[in-house]
Amino acid sequence: MTKGLTDEGTAAAPSRGRCINTGNGPSLHPVDIGHDNYTCLIDPDTAFWSLVRKDALAETLCDKDYLSSYKRKSAQFADEMEMLRFHLKPSAVYFNATEKCNLDCAYCYIPQKMRKSGINMSRKEVFSALRKLRTYFKRVVPKGVKPQIVFHGAEPLINREAIFPAIAEFKNDFRFGVQTNATLLDEEAIEFLTSHGTGIGLSLDGHTAAICDKTRTSWEGKGVFEHVVTAMERLKGYEGYNVICTVTKENMRHLTKIVEFFHSHEVPACLLNIVRCTLPPSREVKPADHTAAKHFIAALERTHELYRETGRKLIVGNFANILVSIIAPTARRLMCDISPCGGGRCFFALTPNGDLFPCSEFIGLPEFKGGNLFTDKIGDVLESKAFKMVTGRRVEDIDPCNKCAIRHFCGSPCPAEAHEVNGAMDRVGSFCEFYEEQARYAFRLIADGRHNDFLWDGWDKGTKQTFEFMS
């Protein structure tokens, strides 16, 4: 390499990087987290952060020990983010074994026509698909790691005759999960799934039938609240289940009551997922960003109170993931809150006719079909133009994310939403303040030393401390 040039052949800046925010010095953005005593400094590119007492901010910015501690680690942290964002291999599949659903939920991302009169995979096709996936994953997944298959929907239990034998047959090859509306989850199904260690996700949007019925009903308009509650009762004590509550303008004011309801039913974990506005009907129930954030954070606080009162946690998984992404970026598991997101690079979605999409969110958007499991090589599909549109979406190319300090704790989700609602991949999704407020809240919890109360026990197993600066 010519002296003074970087690996890429560009001229290296002749700066020793001795000071913050000039030359080659670390770029640390001050961020108001809404805490009485602390503010935050964040290097957006490496996701490095420090909570600094407000009366010590100027002193810290000039503190050579602090600066050199970070400088020693900044390259390692940059490498971590590079690996996390661009070099992971797929290890999971959203497996849609049916297009059909017995419900007509307001915000579903699968087109109505498909759900009403779509096709099922035969048992033979399910087995064939799993054999192909097994062969592929054996090549790309590290030894000792089982790839994950989540039967998703539409309503997967409509095709249980194909799914259950597959779970039994391939139990040593995959870790399985089922995301279900619970209407077909009878005692026999629960016995089978729990005895096979299958993850079970239920969907419930409220603590009363009246609230649930606003977004989740059958084609005839009948509610399903009682079905889900019955399933929750039957699943009590099974650690491998969670409940997904989609946050809309219809239920956001009740989130505190909803988490109380989940906690009282001993639900071990839930996700309070903000509604995705990919298809037009879901936009009818979109809540305002800041209002949704207020209710979401109130619900998180309520889970904390309940934990303190009872000693039993209700983990809100999507928020826990943001906390983890701050404390240990590489330990995060959900991949919606980073760019590129996990769609098409950590996981992909399979439809009943074998078509492959980067994520289930894209199933209603034909231009995002990357190929077919039965006729194409998975490796080629991952390199297809359709998949590259998603896996190439970076926050650095999106305004205002390219200036945002929390861009690697948010990721500007979701690409399907950005494309459909705002017209292009290099646009933000439907929510911004919602994610901003979650990050601020997460930092406040860390400042107050309360963050571990919101994380699942053993979350940091396998991690090691790589940076610590306390003064």
Partner 1 sequence: MRLQPLLWADLSAPPGEGLTTGLIHESEDLLNFREDVNLMEKGSGRPDGSVGALFVYVAKKHRRIRMKKKETKKVIAERKSCRAEGTGLSHYILMDKKAKK
**Span 118-177, contacts to partner 1 by CB under 8 A:** 145, 148, 150, 175, 177
- Whether 321 contacts 346, CB under 8 Å: no
Amino acid present at 279: L
User: Which residues, numbered 423-462, are part of the site for partner 1 (CB under 8 A)?
Assistant: 446-450, 456, 460, 462
Among 31, 52, 67, 292, binds partner 1 (CB under 8 A): 52
Applying CB under 8 A, among 112, 120, 122, 194 the residue interacting with partner 1 is: 194
The least CB distance from residue 239 to partner 1, in Å, is 5
CB 237 within 8 A of CB 277: no
Figure out which of the listed residues 103, 327, 404, 428 binds partner 1, where binding follows CB under 8 A: 327
Q: Indicate which single residue of 25, 30, 197, 392 sits in contact with partner 1 (rule: CB under 8 A).
A: 197
Residue 136, Cβ neighbours under 10 Å: how many? Answer: 18
Of the two residues 9 and 142, which places its CB atom closer to partner 1 in the complex? 142
Torsion of Cα atoms, 201 then 120 then 170 then 236, to 10°: 20
| Cβ 141 vs Cβ 91: under 8 Å | yes
Quote the least distance from Cβ 236 to partner 1, whole Å: 11
Q: Identify residue 121 by its one-letter amino acid code.
A: M
**Which parts of 202-261 interact with partner 1 (CB under 8 A)?**
238-242, 244
How many residues belong to the site for partner 1 (CB under 8 A)? 89
Looking only at residues 346 through 375 of this chain, which bind partner 1 when binding is defined by CB under 8 A? Answer: 346-347
Which part of the chain contacts partner 1 (CB under 8 A), choosing from 160-168, 189-197, 274-282, 416-424? 189-197
- CB of 266 vs partner 1, minimal distance in Å: 14
Q: Would you tell me the crossing angle of helices 255-264 and 289-310 to the nearest 10 degrees?
A: 30
Q: Which of residues 16-35 bind partner 1 (CB under 8 A)?
A: none
CB atoms within 10 A of CB 201: 20
Interacting residue with partner 1 among 7, 36, 220, 367 (CB under 8 A) = 36
Distance CA 253, CA 97 (A): 35
- DSSP run (H or E) holding 29: strand 29-31
Shortest separation between residue 271's beta carbon and partner 1, angstroms:
6
Kindly state the smallest distance separating residue 61's Cβ from partner 1, in Å: 11
H or E element, residue 203: strand 199-203
Euclidean distance between CA atoms 53 and 165, whole angstroms: 58
Contact residue for partner 1 among 50, 102, 339, 430 (CB under 8 A)? 50
**Category of 166 on φ-ψ map: left (φ > 0), alpha (ψ -120 to 50) or beta:** alpha
List C-alpha distances in Å: 29 to 26, 44, 52, 406, 443.
Answer: 10, 8, 12, 10, 14
Near partner 1 by CB under 8 A, which window of 43-51, 124-132, 226-234, 431-439? 43-51
Give the whole-angstrom CA distance, residue 227 versus residue 249.
23
Direct distance between the N- and C-terminal alpha carbons of the chain, in angstroms, rounded to an integer: 41
211 alpha carbon, distance to own chain's centre: 25
User: Which of 27, 122, 291, 330 forms a contact with partner 1 (CB under 8 A)?
Assistant: 330
Is residue 83 a contact residue for partner 1 (CB under 8 A)? Answer: yes
Q: Which of 19, 24, 30, 51 binds partner 1 (CB under 8 A)?
A: 51
The angle that helices 123-140 and 160-169 make with each other, rounded to 10 degrees, is: 40
β-partners of residue 87 are none
For the CB of residue 342, give the shortest distance to partner 1 in the complex, in Å.
3
Residue 409 touching partner 1 (CB under 8 A): no
> Whose Cβ is closer to partner 1: residue 188's or residue 239's?
239
| CB nearer to partner 1: pick between 223 and 442 | 442
Query: Which CA distances in Å does 394 have to 74, 171, 332, 358?
Result: 21, 36, 18, 15
283 or 304, CB closer to partner 1? 304
Q: Is residue 469 involved in binding partner 1 (CB under 8 A)? A: yes
Contacts with partner 1 in 265-324 (CB under 8 A)? 268-269, 271, 273, 301, 304-305, 308-309, 311, 315, 317-318, 320-321
Is residue 461 helix, strand or coil? Answer: coil
Binds partner 1 (CB under 8 A): choice among 231, 336, 410, 442 = 336
Least distance from partner 1 to the Cβ atom of residue 440, Å: 14
Nearest CB to partner 1, comparing residues 55 and 220: 55
H helical segments located in 160-288: 160-169, 187-195, 209-212, 225-235, 255-264, 280-283
In the bound state with partner 1, the residue whose beta carbon lies nearer, of 127 and 456, is 456
